[in-house]
Chain A
Amino acid sequence: MTCRPLPLQVVIALASSAMLSVAAQGACPGDINGDLRVDAADLSTLLSNWGGSGTADLNSDGYVDGADLTVLVSLWGQICSPPQPTTEIRLACFPLTIAPYASFVQTFIAGTTVTIAVDPGLTSIQVGATADFFVVAARTTAQWGANDLLTDVRGAAQPITFASGGISENRFTVTGGQTLSGDGGLSVGRGYDLVIDMDRNGRFSVGDLIDGGDDRAGLWISRDPTATGPLAVTTLSSYTAVGATAGFTLARLWYPTNVASMAPCPLVVISHGNGHLYTWYDYLGSHLASWGFIVISHQNNTVPGIETSSTTTLQHTNAIIAQQSTVASGAINGKIDASRISWIGHSRGGEGIVRGYDRIFDGTYTPTGYGLSNIKFLCPISPTDFLGVNSSNPHAANFMLLWGAADGDVSGTPTSSVAWSFDLAERSVGFRNTVYVHGADHNDFNCCGTNDFVGPTGTAILNAGAQAVAKAFILAGIKYHIEGETAMKEFMWRPSTTLRPTAVVATTTLVKELVPPASSNVKSIDTFQTQTSTTLSSCGGTVTSTVANLSEALSRDTDATYTWSTTNPHNGSSRATATDTGRMIAWDWNSAQNMQWAIPASLGDVSAMDFIEVRVGQGTRHPNTVTLNGGATFSIVLRDAAGIEVRVSSSAQGEAVNRPYQRTGDGTGTGWQNELRTIRLRLRDFQSGGTGINLAQIVAVRIEVGGTAGSATGRFILDDLQFTKE
């Protein structure tokens, strides 16, 4: 006899094929000990609990008694079948007009349309069948195990009927998706799990599809990260930091007004740039405090240089921790969480915070009240690079760079690597991301600096535009790194066309890179570092190519002009001083061409990974780039051991590789420095529609350009081709 296959033990098959067990809930009546048999062991348990209550209370009347014994005897000898799995898949997406017709994501800005899609090639849906789609408050794996009842936050489930065809025929707009709340208290958003209840029984049960059955929310509705947070803020216009360099002792403080009733808050320190004032960052201090942080902005000793700037950052961090009992009449006493510190620095102050971190790392400065491990996030804005790799090095810190493409000061000019903010990012070996902001100048990131805009007429985004970007991305970075809001990560790599903070104008081009640190979550194909040959990758595989003018070298413009020259193949690259080591490749094409990396067997199982990604940008002022005069596209092809090849366009991310900012100067031609963005393609997309490709046995990765694969002409700069996990 076989027990009813009740869905009370759920085994979730992740999209990656990893299996995740959820706690048993008595899937086999009479089977008290959960071994799928009703036998003497269960009888023994029942007798030992006689007169009490608990799992042996088989009829749920509150007592273990003769009635339960009767039930047990009636089921004696049963052997139950293992429960059938439900399926964990991605459902939340934004629709695409090209294959794979849906880009599966997690994060949506509140008020925007939410879509789900079901891939008939990867699921067992029945054409014409109707199921109930639920949006449920997010649950952890354990919570799903404890409660399988589906309760739709919208009040009622949404019936959906599967159609013949593919993903595009099985996309469904989430009814009421635009009104889903993003109110997560101090969290920027709120999580939901998405369930397609195939048997329409109102429970999460066998055969159902779920997005978010693990501890990750399937859907994250984010409030606008540029908007003021939920907390009222008190500002102390200035206080004096004891122990700071004479002349640089003043600082401004922002904190949640109700901080007395809160747990200790992470600390954010803002270090201004040269010729700036500590009073120029009210927009940022107030914004972050409204989301639950204690923030200071301090006088910064930037005129002598970077070392002195770093000293004032270090001193002021010491001081606010030490003086919390007296500053603001003790309002923040005991409320600074010195184990979670973020440093934000602008311009020379941006390099200063990196230098400060490096000094602690090197042991040449010993802070008081905190240590290196307590600095959780470094965010330089338009930083200089005076000191170079040995002194201004963020090492493994979590790192975010914001930089304006119209910067007339730290401009990226090829004549001086001091003006190359990307240097600092390239040195990072931690989690790093960059946001390069078209139309933003150096002083757009404060209230009151000079107007240093250099760029095409009509492209300036002005203070409001740049500060909206800063508010959104710094908040996202801090929430991600400090408070573990993993859904904020999508702000760091998704294009604005699919995820845009509300106050960031839609026409603003944001060029984003995200590079995770080396870990088990990364399978690197080619870093272009350890193998200098263009025919061998850093993972040891053979590299073949048909592209033109292939060059692998230091990511450095070497002739002090952005005029294109064949003798300077990395023209426009401003990411490495002569003593840095960051290398990239560059090549161009005018017809269908490709570059292919053989994947060693030791790396070929990528079934547990989520993405294949690469950093890529257009080569500025190159004749092909000029001819293309727009976004560039390419395709990535995966091949498995059986010879199955699947091609996915880079546009599946939702945006092309943008044209370089059309700024002039430093030579002839139009287009400023090379801008790299991370293109991440979900590996699941390569299986879309049931391609049959075996992600456990990938033998080659190929980037294709021209022809049907992408733009007809162009020149690319590429780095960090790798598989990554979410």
Chain B
Amino acid sequence: MKNETRAPKKLNNFLTANVIACCIAGTSAIAFAQVANPAQNNPAQNPDQNNPGPALPALPATPSIDTVPMIVSLQPVTIKESYATDFRSEHQQVSSGWLMVIRGDSRILAPRALAEPLLLASGTGADGSVWIESVEWFNHGFISGYRVCFIPSTAQEKGGADRTAQGLRVWFGSPKLPESVDAKALQSELKEADRVGIVAGVTVKVEGSAPKVLANRDELITTTNALIARWAPDESQDGASTVPAVPANK
């Protein structure tokens, strides 16, 4: 099994930033990548109503080693007030996990109404077992190339072993609604990932410290919003900045 994170073979035109790929060495490590200003890679959407934004690309088959995203940053997090994740049908309570930014294949990051590939993460538990989880994401990243995510850690509430980021794998699984995915489906995804050869990334030196402590999901959202504003500003939903207050239409 190759210990390496694969970058997408076919980066889209927007993904030309000089990313230093980095992956995870330990549970408390923070992955960090120096990346060119993402705004430079974010062409403005065409304001011409007659020529709307970039074309919707066809969705490639997943899972595939060709579409494994690059981990740009990873931040362990603990959340004092747990919340129920919407990215699993069981809606487990979440009180820890990893904030993550990935850079991916625009064909997969493109938003779609139909089922999008699940974003999945797998690593090793404290007891050496392999865990898999449905990753939450907060933007799509089609224009910017960057997706802000959170890997929820749900094992403790189920009585399982503490999860670590050792041997972390992140990949795009089969197209499904995250809210429809349960533990059984995740195990199937894991088997399929193994079958197609998705492996953990190379270990690189990371900057790190203790887990970031957040009060609750609201604070998690505030944190992810800040990351979106940085990495995918086109998807920043600061509505107040997009429309002048109180315009009249006539």
Q: Is A374 an interface residue (CB 8 A)?
A: no
Asked, given contacts A233-B248, A274-B113, whether A252 binds B50 with beta carbons under 8 Å apart, the answer is no
Q: Is B103 an interface residue (CB 8 A)?
A: no
> Given B55, B142, B179, which contacts A275 in the complex, CB threshold below 8 Å?
B142
Q: Could you say which residues of chain B place their CB within 8 Å of the CB of A306?
A: 177, 179
**Could you tell me the distance between the alpha carbons of A246 and B239 in the complex, rounded to whole angstroms?**
16
Q: Are B242 and A279 in contact, CB atoms less than 8 angstroms apart?
A: yes
Q: Is B17 an interface residue (CB 8 A)?
A: no
> Given A228, A442, A450, which contacts B55 in the complex, CB threshold below 8 Å?
A450
Contacting A at CB under 8 A, from B196-250, are: 216-218, 220-221, 224-225, 235, 237-240, 242-250
Q: Are B243 and A282 in contact, CB atoms less than 8 angstroms apart?
A: yes
Chain A: minimal CB distance from B29 (Å): 26
Q: Are A462 and B49 in contact, CB atoms less than 8 angstroms apart?
A: yes
> Given A238, A289, A450, which contacts B111 in the complex, CB threshold below 8 Å?
A450
Q: Are A236 and B246 in contact, CB atoms less than 8 angstroms apart?
A: yes
Q: Is A303 an interface residue (CB 8 A)?
A: yes
Contacting A at CB under 8 A, from B99-123, are: 110-116
Q: Are A237 and B244 in contact, CB atoms less than 8 angstroms apart?
A: yes
> Given A282, A416, A448, which contacts B52 in the complex, CB threshold below 8 Å?
A448
Q: Are A235 and B138 in contact, CB atoms less than 8 angstroms apart?
A: no
Per-position binary interface string of chain A over residues 519-543, scored 1 when its CB falls under 8 Å from any chain B CB and 0 otherwise: 0000000000000000000000000
Per-position binary interface string of chain A over residues 434-460, scored 1 when its CB falls under 8 Å from any chain B CB and 0 otherwise: 000000001110011111100000000
Q: Is B53 an interface residue (CB 8 A)?
A: yes
Contacting A at CB under 8 A, from B63-88, are: 83, 86-87
Q: Are A273 and B239 in contact, CB atoms less than 8 angstroms apart?
A: no
Chain B: minimal CB distance from A412 (Å): 11
Chain B: minimal CB distance from A457 (Å): 14
Q: Is B6 an interface residue (CB 8 A)?
A: no
**Could you tell me the distance between the alpha carbons of A304 and B113 in the complex, rounded to whole angstroms?**
11
Q: Is B16 an interface residue (CB 8 A)?
A: no
Q: Is B129 an interface residue (CB 8 A)?
A: no
> Given A228, A384, A443, A464, which contacts B250 in the complex, CB threshold below 8 Å?
A228
Q: Is B54 an interface residue (CB 8 A)?
A: yes
> Given A235, A301, A303, A416, which contacts B247 in the complex, CB threshold below 8 Å?
A235
**Could you tell me the distance between the alpha carbons of A83 and B50 in the complex, rounded to whole angstroms?**
63
Q: Are A235 and B54 in contact, CB atoms less than 8 angstroms apart?
A: no
Asked, given contacts A275-B112, A305-B180, A450-B110, whether A232 binds B249 with beta carbons under 8 Å apart, the answer is yes
Q: Could you say which residues of chain A place their CB within 8 Å of the CB of B244?
A: 237
Q: Could you say which residues of chain B place their CB within 8 Å of the CB of A304?
A: 86-87, 177-179
Per-position binary interface string of chain A over residues 414-426, scored 1 when its CB falls under 8 Å from any chain B CB and 0 otherwise: 0010110000000
Asked, given contacts A228-B250, A384-B114, whether A250 binds B239 with beta carbons under 8 Å apart, the answer is yes
Q: Could you say which residues of chain A place their CB within 8 Å of the CB of B169?
A: none
Q: Are B178 and A463 in contact, CB atoms less than 8 angstroms apart?
A: no
**Could you tell me the distance between the alpha carbons of A382 and B115 in the complex, rounded to whole angstroms?**
15
Asked, given contacts A279-B237, A451-B52, whether A247 binds B224 with beta carbons under 8 Å apart, the answer is yes
Q: Is B56 an interface residue (CB 8 A)?
A: yes
> Given B56, B217, B242, B249, which contacts A237 in the complex, CB threshold below 8 Å?
B242
Tell me the nearest residue of chain A to B57, going by C-beta.
Answer: A450
**Could you tell me the distance between the alpha carbons of A233 and B247 in the complex, rounded to whole angstroms?**
8
**Could you tell me the distance between the alpha carbons of A234 and B242 in the complex, rounded to whole angstroms?**
15
Q: Could you say which residues of chain B place their CB within 8 Å of the CB of A134?
A: none
**Could you tell me the distance between the alpha carbons of A416 and B87 in the complex, rounded to whole angstroms?**
22
Per-position binary interface string of chain A over residues 201-244, scored 1 when its CB falls under 8 Å from any chain B CB and 0 otherwise: 00000000000000000000000000010001111111000000
Chain B: minimal CB distance from A350 (Å): 9
Q: Could you say which residues of chain A place their CB within 8 Å of the CB of B50?
A: 462-464
> Given A237, A246, A382, which contacts B221 in the complex, CB threshold below 8 Å?
A246
Q: Could you say which residues of chain B place their CB within 8 Å of the CB of A266?
A: none
Q: Are A464 and B249 in contact, CB atoms less than 8 angstroms apart?
A: no
Q: Could you say which residues of chain B place their CB within 8 Å of the CB of A348?
A: 113
Q: Is A257 an interface residue (CB 8 A)?
A: yes
Q: Could you say which residues of chain A place their CB within 8 Å of the CB of B220?
A: 246
**Could you tell me the distance between the alpha carbons of A233 and B137 in the complex, rounded to whole angstroms?**
35
Q: Are B218 and A246 in contact, CB atoms less than 8 angstroms apart?
A: yes
**Could you tell me the distance between the alpha carbons of A303 and B137 in the complex, rounded to whole angstroms?**
8
Chain B: minimal CB distance from A508 (Å): 15
**Could you tell me the distance between the alpha carbons of A308 and B178 in the complex, rounded to whole angstroms?**
10
Q: Are B114 and A464 in contact, CB atoms less than 8 angstroms apart?
A: no
Tell me the nearest residue of chain B to A418, going by C-beta.
Answer: B114
Asked, given contacts A304-B177, A448-B45, whether A409 binds B113 with beta carbons under 8 Å apart, the answer is yes
Asked, given contacts A274-B111, A463-B49, whether A303 binds B249 with beta carbons under 8 Å apart, the answer is no
Q: Are A447 and B113 in contact, CB atoms less than 8 angstroms apart?
A: no
Chain B: minimal CB distance from A478 (Å): 18
Q: Are B56 and A408 in contact, CB atoms less than 8 angstroms apart?
A: yes
Interface of B is mostly: loop
Q: Are A232 and B55 in contact, CB atoms less than 8 angstroms apart?
A: no
Number of chain A interface residues as a range: 35 or more
Q: Is B140 an interface residue (CB 8 A)?
A: yes
Q: Are A305 and B112 in contact, CB atoms less than 8 angstroms apart?
A: no
Q: Could you say which residues of chain B place their CB within 8 Å of the CB of A305?
A: 86, 177-180
Per-position binary interface string of chain B over residues 110-154, scored 1 when its CB falls under 8 Å from any chain A CB and 0 otherwise: 111111100000000000000000000110101000000000000
Q: Could you say which residues of chain B place their CB within 8 Å of the CB of A641?
A: none
Q: Could you say which residues of chain A place their CB within 8 Å of the CB of B246?
A: 234-236
Chain B: minimal CB distance from A189 (Å): 19
Q: Is A715 an interface residue (CB 8 A)?
A: no
Chain A: minimal CB distance from B36 (Å): 24
Q: Are A275 and B177 in contact, CB atoms less than 8 angstroms apart?
A: no
Q: Could you say which residues of chain A place their CB within 8 Å of the CB of B235?
A: 277
**Could you tell me the distance between the alpha carbons of A299 and B217 in the complex, rounded to whole angstroms?**
17
Asked, given contacts A238-B239, A252-B239, whether A442 binds B113 with beta carbons under 8 Å apart, the answer is yes
Q: Are A410 and B52 in contact, CB atoms less than 8 angstroms apart?
A: no
Q: Is A276 an interface residue (CB 8 A)?
A: yes
Per-position binary interface string of chain A over residues 323-351, scored 1 when its CB falls under 8 Å from any chain B CB and 0 otherwise: 00000000000000000000000011000
Q: Are B248 and A303 in contact, CB atoms less than 8 angstroms apart?
A: no
Q: Are A449 and B53 in contact, CB atoms less than 8 angstroms apart?
A: yes
Q: Are A307 and B179 in contact, CB atoms less than 8 angstroms apart?
A: yes
Q: Could you say which residues of chain A place their CB within 8 Å of the CB of B238?
A: 238
Q: Is A386 an interface residue (CB 8 A)?
A: yes
**Could you tell me the distance between the alpha carbons of A448 and B179 in the complex, rounded to whole angstroms?**
26
Q: Could you say which residues of chain A place their CB within 8 Å of the CB of B116?
A: 274, 303
Tell me the nearest residue of chain B to A234, going by C-beta.
Answer: B246
Asked, given contacts A418-B115, A463-B50, whether A237 binds B245 with beta carbons under 8 Å apart, the answer is yes
Q: Are B142 and A450 in contact, CB atoms less than 8 angstroms apart?
A: yes
Tell me the nearest residue of chain B to A282, going by C-beta.
Answer: B243
Q: Are A449 and B52 in contact, CB atoms less than 8 angstroms apart?
A: yes
Q: Are A235 and B224 in contact, CB atoms less than 8 angstroms apart?
A: no
Q: Could you say which residues of chain B place their CB within 8 Å of the CB of A232?
A: 248-250
Q: Is A278 an interface residue (CB 8 A)?
A: yes
Per-position binary interface string of chain A over residues 244-271, scored 1 when its CB falls under 8 Å from any chain B CB and 0 otherwise: 0111001010000100000000000000
Contacting B at CB under 8 A, from A355-398, are: 382, 384, 386
Q: Could you say which residues of chain B place their CB within 8 Å of the CB of A303?
A: 116, 137, 178
Tell me the nearest residue of chain B to A311, going by C-beta.
Answer: B86
Q: Could you say which residues of chain A place their CB within 8 Å of the CB of B54?
A: 450-451
Q: Could you say which residues of chain B place their CB within 8 Å of the CB of A252?
A: 239, 243
> Given B52, B179, B237, which contacts A444 in the complex, CB threshold below 8 Å?
B52
Per-position binary interface string of chain A over residues 47-75, scored 1 when its CB falls under 8 Å from any chain B CB and 0 otherwise: 00000000000000000000000000000
30 pairs of residues in contact across A and B, judged by CB atoms under 8 Å: A232-B248, A233-B248, A233-B250, A237-B240, A246-B221, A247-B224, A247-B225, A250-B239, A275-B110, A277-B235, A277-B237, A279-B239, A279-B243, A303-B178, A304-B179, A305-B177, A305-B178, A305-B180, A307-B86, A348-B113, A409-B56, A447-B52, A448-B45, A448-B53, A450-B52, A450-B54, A450-B55, A451-B55, A452-B55, A464-B50
Inter-chain pairs besides A305-B86, A451-B56, 4 sampled, C-beta below 8 Å: A252-B239, A274-B116, A275-B142, A448-B53
- A interface residues with partner B (beta carbon < 8 Å): 228, 232-238, 245-247, 250, 252, 257, 273-279, 282, 286, 289-290, 299, 301, 303-308, 347-348, 382, 384, 386, 408-410, 416, 418-419, 442-444, 447-452, 462-464
The 3 closest A-B pairs by CB, nearest first: A275-B111, A238-B239, A305-B177
